[in-house]
Amino acid sequence: MSNKIGLKGRFFRGLKIGILVVPFLGLAACWSEQVAMPPDAPGVSRSEEYSFGSATQAEDWQATRKVLGQLEGRFGEKSMRILARNLASTTDPQTIKAYYAERLIHQAGWAEMPVSTFADKAWAFAFVSPNGKQVLAVAALDASESAGGIVPLNILTNLDEDKGSKG
């Protein structure tokens, strides 16, 4: 008889623990949700077509390709996307970085990841998710490469959604 009582006691203790643990697992699942693509930063705009000549395009692709190569090595070639944007040449690159840092580091717990453009006329930065599976990087030419007050800027990411604001 005491064996049956012991089994029932263990069962109900396990049930109590399960009742306490399940809500925490639900919260943990919510915390690990993937961050959506942040809206475009101030000074960043979209264009229907590429707004630059072939010389600028070559420099832009060289800088972007170097960053893309670093990211593909870590996150996989097939998962990365390039979102082409225009950047007002008067916009300070630190403003762009601070904008994404606020949304990714401060609000979602991401961390900065070192990247380099290996180019004299470009700059880049990247942020990686806490689980190390998502990335958002920005690569752009310096303002000295401006054509009509804008420079090319590329967002390199493996985030599923592109919810950037049209600008």
pLDDT in tens, 52-83: 999 999 999 999 999 999 999 999 989 999 99
Residue 24 has pLDDT above 80, yes or no: no
Contact 140, 153 (CB under 8 A): yes
Residue 51 has a pLDDT of: 87
Distance of alpha carbon 125 from alpha carbon 157, whole angstroms: 12
What is the model's pTM? 0.77
- Residues 84-143 have pLDDT tens digits of 999 999 999 999 999 999 999 999 999 999 999 998 899 999 999 999 999 999 999 999
Distance of alpha carbon 61 from alpha carbon 86, whole angstroms: 14
Residue 10 confidence class, pLDDT cut points 50, 70, 90 = low
The runs of H, that is alpha helices, within the chain are: 2-31, 54-75, 93-101, 107-108
- Residues 145-159 have pLDDT tens digits of 888 899 999 999 999
> What's the whole-number mean pLDDT along residues 13-39?
55
Residue 71 has a pLDDT of: 97
> 69-106 as b/e, with b when 16 or more CB fall inside 10 Å?
ebbbeebeeeebebbbbbbebebebeebbebbbebbee
Q: Which residue has the higher pLDDT, 162 or 129?
A: 129
Residue 109 has a pLDDT of: 96
Q: Which residue has the higher pLDDT, 30 or 163?
A: 163
